[in-house]
């Protein structure tokens, strides 16, 4: 790691472009600032404090010693209109390391609260995220840019506002992997090493260590969270709450403005619920476990946000959580994600109820969440088997997950392998089925004992598959089942290599994850099951929130 601290590349001095307050004197892009339309904290220092009556606080990023561009997302850069030459320029590096702001960038940290692990936590806010403003993308949409790990804000709660390479790399790669999987998510423009150490206690066990620091630039059309609305509601600040709701609808849900005023909040909330249901159904489809579904980590746009102690199902286990903090209660385990999302929406509804004479219409949004999630989850689950979602087969699907769990089967590899299954032999030839299943089991000795349960299930599956066109089945299987997901042990390999100054693993992994549904024969190693060495290694099985 010491080698990483000194490997930042200082670019040539472009001080002629720098004006007062560390800002560049030329403006390559025009930034907008939606937060400035809402109350801003009049205090301009970064000292930790309670901020009332304001959505955001002005704050400047803290400069870093030796920034270095470690990775970029080409698609995101293109979406923002950033040419490759700009991304590799000193102007870009200094701006997205937080050293020099471009003209018209306005650095802000937003103010929100939230329920954490089911309990109201009060004011939280952007403790290490700093908004730079919004750009109009090449597709006409607005995109907000924010730096995560760029220094303290009034919401840092005593922390340094920094982030380590470990967590920043995980956020950069996972947000991009999720986008290419077709899952609603925030995006990442770039990953920058700071050239400075950050002290973190990774496992909260009293053994802090110096780790390489990094900053990731996150991109989304909005970073508004459920917690943004909860905080003013909890404080009884209905004026700010109404302003915030009006701004959210005007900016992101303009079609709602065509409705009578009394119908707007229920209609908007219902759409938030629908988007949330769609997102969680996708999580369940690919085996993603967010790990910390606090209300402050829930986007009103139904985007996956805040990639912390997340993970991917390896052996099928609905009770698995990647978060060490959640190891006892397992509130945020894979199987409870649909329920927790509904609970979080209920918390948002409670906040919005303060703006309504009769909050009953909000119940329709909660019901709509359940309807959309149930329909989409059923569709995705059957699609993973290559089948249409024409009828309710929930009991049969539940039976499948029980069998997969009993056989300790790798979630991603099993479903991807169904395209190679000889359906005529699977339910009648015990030896063939055991040979098919065993390579995807973490406990292969358990597989033969499950045959009696598998056989009737497979025979019904064979009947259903034979009733479908084989090409249609194959298309569904590929569309619903990625071959490559961002497993934690892959992340750790990229982290270890990057910390030693080797970015090749990060670059290759990024390339593979951009095409998760393609076979990519030269990338078979990235589709492998979790190796034995990763079973207990920190960062490969469970993670803390430390970043």
| 18: CB partners within 8 A, 6+ apart | 24, 25, 100
Predicted confidence pLDDT, tens digits, the chain (547 residues): 333 332 332 232 333 333 334 455 454 688 989 888 899 999 988 899 999 999 999 999 999 999 999 999 999 999 999 999 999 999 999 999 999 999 889 999 999 999 999 999 999 999 999 999 999 887 888 999 999 999 999 999 878 999 999 999 999 999 999 999 999 999 999 999 999 999 987 666 677 889 999 999 999 999 999 999 999 999 999 999 999 999 999 999 999 999 999 999 999 999 999 999 999 999 999 999 999 999 999 999 999 999 999 999 999 999 999 998 998 999 999 999 999 999 999 999 999 999 999 999 999 999 999 999 999 999 999 999 999 987 778 889 999 999 999 999 999 999 999 999 999 999 999 999 999 999 999 999 999 999 999 999 999 999 999 999 999 999 999 999 999 999 999 999 999 999 999 999 999 999 999 999 999 999 999 999 999 988 877 777 767 665 4
| Residue 229 near residue 244 (C-beta atoms within 8 A) | yes
Measure the CA–CA gap between 10 and 101, rounded to whole angstroms.
17
* Maximum alpha-carbon separation in the chain: 77
Say if domain 256-323+330-383 classifies as CATH 1.10.510: yes
Please tell me the predicted confidence (pLDDT) of residue 28. 61
User: For this structure, is 522 an active site residue?
Assistant: no
Strands (E), 104-175: 108-110, 113-116, 119-123, 129-136, 142-148
pTM over 0.85: yes
Please tell me the predicted confidence (pLDDT) of residue 440. 97
Domain boundaries, the chain: 2-43+52-226, 256-323+330-383, 394-480
Please tell me the predicted confidence (pLDDT) of residue 21. 40
| Residue 329 near residue 117 (C-beta atoms within 8 A) | yes
Find the catalytic residue in 296, 306, 326, 410. Answer: 296
Please tell me the predicted confidence (pLDDT) of residue 6. 29
Beta-carbon-side half-sphere exposure of residue 251 (alpha carbons within 13 Å): 24
| Residues found in the chain | 547
């Amino acid at each position: 790691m010491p080698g990483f601290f000194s490997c930042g590349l200082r670019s040539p001095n472009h001080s002629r472009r720098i004006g007062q307050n560390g800002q560049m004197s030329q403006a390559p892009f025009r930034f907008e600032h939606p937060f400035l339309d809402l109350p801003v904290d009049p205090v301009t220092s970064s000292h930790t404090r309670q901020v009332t009556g304001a959505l955001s606080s002005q704050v400047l990023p803290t400069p870093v010693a030796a920034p270095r561009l470690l990775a970029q997302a080409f698609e995101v850069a293109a979406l923002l209109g950033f040419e490759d030459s700009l991304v590799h320029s000193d102007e870009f590096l200094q701006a997205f390391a937080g050293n020099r702001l471009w003209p018209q960038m306005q650095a802000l940290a937003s103010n929100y609260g939230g329920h954490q692990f089911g309990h109201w936590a009060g004011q939280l806010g952007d403790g290490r995220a700093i908004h730079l403003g919004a750009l109009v993308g090449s597709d006409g949409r607005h995109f907000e840019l924010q730096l995560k790990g760029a220094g303290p804000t009034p919401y840092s709660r005593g922390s340094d506002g920094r982030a380590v390479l470990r967590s920043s790399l995980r956020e950069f790669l996972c947000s991009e992997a999720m986008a290419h999987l077709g899952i609603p998510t925030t995006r990442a423009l770039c990953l920058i090493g700071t050239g400075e150490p950050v002290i973190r206690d990774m496992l909260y066990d009293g053994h802090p260590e110096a780790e390489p620091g990094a900053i990731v630039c996150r991109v989304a059309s909005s970073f508004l969270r459920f917690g943004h609305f909860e905080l003013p509601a909890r404080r009884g600040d209905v004026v700010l709450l109404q302003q915030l709701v009006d701004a959210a609808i005007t900016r992101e849900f303009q079609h709602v403005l065509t409705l009578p005023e009394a119908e707007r909040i229920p209609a908007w909330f219902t759409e938030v619920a629908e988007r949330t249901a769609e997102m969680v159904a996708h999580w369940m489809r690919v085996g993603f476990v967010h790990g910390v579904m606090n209300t402050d980590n829930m986007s009103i746009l139904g985007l996956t946000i805040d990639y912390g102690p997340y993970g991917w199902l390896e052996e099928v286990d609905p009770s698995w959580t990647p978060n060490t903090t959640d190891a006892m209660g397992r509130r945020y385990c894979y199987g409870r994600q649909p329920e927790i999302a509904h609970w979080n929406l209920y918390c948002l509804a409670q906040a919005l109820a303060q703006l309504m004479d009769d909050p009953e219409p909000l119940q329709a949004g909660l019901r709509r969440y359940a309807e959309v999630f149930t329909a989409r989850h059923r569709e995705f689950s059957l699609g993973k088997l290559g089948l249409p979602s024409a009828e309710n087969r929930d009991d049969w699907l539940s039976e499948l997950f029980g069998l997969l769990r009993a056989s300790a089967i790798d979630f991603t590899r099993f479903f991807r392998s169904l395209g190679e299954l000889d359906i005529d032999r699977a339910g009648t030839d015990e030896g063939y089925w055991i040979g098919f299943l065993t390579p995807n089991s973490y406990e292969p000795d358990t597989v033969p004992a499950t045959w009696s349960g598998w056989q009737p299930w497979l025979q019904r599956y064979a009947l259903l598959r034979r009733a479908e066109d084989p090409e249609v089945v194959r298309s569904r299987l590929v569309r619903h089942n990625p071959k490559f997901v961002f497993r934690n042990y892959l992340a750790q390999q990229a982290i270890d290599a990057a910390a030693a100054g080797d970015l090749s693993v990060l670059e290759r992994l990024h390339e593979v994850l951009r095409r998760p549904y393609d076979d990519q024969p030269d990338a078979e190693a990235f589709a492998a099951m979790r190796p034995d060495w990763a079973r207990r290694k920190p960062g490969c099985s469970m993670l803390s929130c430390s970043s």
